[in-house]
């Protein structure tokens, strides 16, 4: 429990209570002076290395034996940023630089009273990992396996950090694994992939109708002008289904090869010109992309990334489809 002030710091007289601006404060009648109990500034650092967060295990009260971010009080005469970097180095051996202020949070401690937690995101610039100060241990924890935090402001700051990075990590995963034959399950289930798939599934009917209206009048697809609507619908529906499976990691290169090589042979037997077959395929990509733009998909930064990734992944799909369709058409 935090100790209460009993005597004046200046004259040693007994402290009483007196109201000032509607707040009951410590007061010295002899000095006619008020004493203010302002929140103490506490600094914490989030150091992220490959989605693992650096934590320290406390070696003294309060919360001895529990984990927290590198955390400590700011000292008089140092900037709040210098305090964060000093505590990081003292407790973990790591030298760093401030990236940005992430969070400011109030917390009432029974040991220290009112505290003001300032949490910074930091980048490592040097040093060697080693527990120091009042820490029994220091280690990196995966973001999805973080232990209970000693201080609630640490937990709230980490939640805010992980939330701010979740879409970025999803984008990174999608880009990193898009060129492989099949996405690993974790990538196939990530939030960005689900959003990309939902863009197509939610608006499939409209995309198909726009493509059909185009393909039956487009001068580059004359041979499709007389094809029945039901057949055209099924063509586009099949390809959109393949794209969603491809984005979700459930459709690989071998399946694309098999389907479009066969399709190329069929279109050749049907006396379709290869240029018109390829044009009809490219029109599907055009209408998916046009639809994304029409839905104001570029208004926010995340939507810009999402739209870029959708176009990039579609390019891979359609390039593969075009290649194998042409190969099937050229087979004797």
pLDDT of residue 13: 84
Strands 135-142 and 52-58: antiparallel
For 75, the enclosing helix (H) or strand (E) is none
pLDDT of residue 185: 46
What would the two tokens of residue 273 be?
């010109």
Alpha carbons 209 and 240: distance in angstroms, whole number: 12
Q: Return the CATH superfamily for domain 41-164.
A: Nucleoside Triphosphate Pyrophosphohydrolase (3.90.79.10)
For 52: left if phi > 0, alpha if psi spans -120 to 50, otherwise beta; the answer is beta
In words, the CATH class of domain 178-330 is mainly alpha
CA torsion sign for 290, 194, 253, 233 is negative
DSSP 3-state percent helix, strand, coil across the chain (nearest 5): 50, 25, 30
pLDDT of residue 192: 58
Alpha carbons 103 and 84: distance in angstroms, whole number: 13
Q: What is the DSSP string of 145-189?
A: SPPPBSSHHHHHHHHHHHHHHHHHHHHHHHHHHTTSSS--HHHHT
Identify the three-state secondary structure at position 142.
Answer: strand
Domain limits, the chain: 1-37, 41-164, 178-330
DSSP assignment, residue 4?
P
Just give the CATH number of 1-37: 2.20.70
Give average pLDDT by consecutive 10-residue segment, the chain, 332 residues: 75 86 86 85 96 94 93 94 97 95 92 92 95 90 95 96 77 50 46 68 88 94 92 91 79 86 90 92 86 56 58 77 86 71
- Which of 292, 199, 310, 264 lies closest to 256 in space, CA to CA? 264
Alpha carbons 196 and 311: distance in angstroms, whole number: 10
How would you class 252 by CB atoms within 10 Å of its CB: exposed for 0-12, middle for 13-18, buried for 19 or more?
Answer: middle
DSSP assignment, residue 101?
E
pLDDT of residue 137: 95
pLDDT of residue 191: 58
For 103: left if phi > 0, alpha if psi spans -120 to 50, otherwise beta; the answer is beta
Alpha carbons 324 and 134: distance in angstroms, whole number: 64
């Amino acid at each position: 429990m935090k100790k209460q002030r009993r005597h004046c710091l200046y004259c040693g007289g007994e402290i009483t209570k007196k109201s000032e601006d509607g707040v009951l404060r410590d007061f010295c009648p002899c000095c006619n002076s008020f004493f203010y109990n302002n929140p103490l500034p506490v600094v914490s650092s989030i150091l992220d290395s490959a989605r693992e967060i650096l934590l320290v295990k406390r070696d003294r009260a309060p919360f001895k034996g529990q984990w927290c971010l590198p955390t400590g009080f700011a000292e008089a005469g140092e900037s709040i940023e210098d305090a964060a970097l000093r505590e990081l180095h003292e407790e973990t051996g790591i030298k760093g630089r401030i990236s940005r202020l992430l969070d400011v949070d109030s917390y009432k401690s029974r040991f220290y009273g009112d505290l003001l937690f300032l949490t910074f995101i930091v980048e490592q610039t040097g040093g060697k990992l080693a527990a120091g100060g009042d820490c029994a241990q220091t280690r990196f924890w995966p973001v999805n396996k973080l232990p209970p935090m000693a201080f609630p402001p640490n937990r709230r700051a980490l939640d805010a950090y992980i939330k701010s990075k979740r879409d970025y990590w999803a984008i990174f995963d999608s880009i990193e694994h898009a060129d492989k034959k099949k996405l690993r399950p974790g990538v196939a289930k990530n939030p960005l992939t689900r959003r990309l798939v939902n863009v197509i599934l939610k608006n499939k009917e409209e995309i198909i109708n726009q493509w059909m209206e185009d393909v039956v009048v487009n001068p580059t697809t004359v041979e499709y002008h007389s094809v029945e609507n039901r057949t055209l619908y099924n063509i586009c529906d099949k390809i959109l289904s393949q794209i969603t499976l491809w984005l979700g990691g459930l459709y690989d290169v071998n399946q694309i090869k098999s389907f479009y090589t066969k399709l190329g042979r069929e279109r050749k037997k049907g006396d379709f010109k290869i240029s018109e077959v390829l044009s009809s395929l490219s029109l599907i990509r055009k209408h998916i992309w046009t639809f994304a733009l029409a839905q104001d998909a570029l208004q926010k930064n995340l939507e810009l990334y999402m739209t870029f990734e959708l176009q990039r992944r579609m390019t891979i799909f359609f390039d593969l489809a075009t290649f194998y369709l042409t190969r099937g058409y050229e087979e004797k």
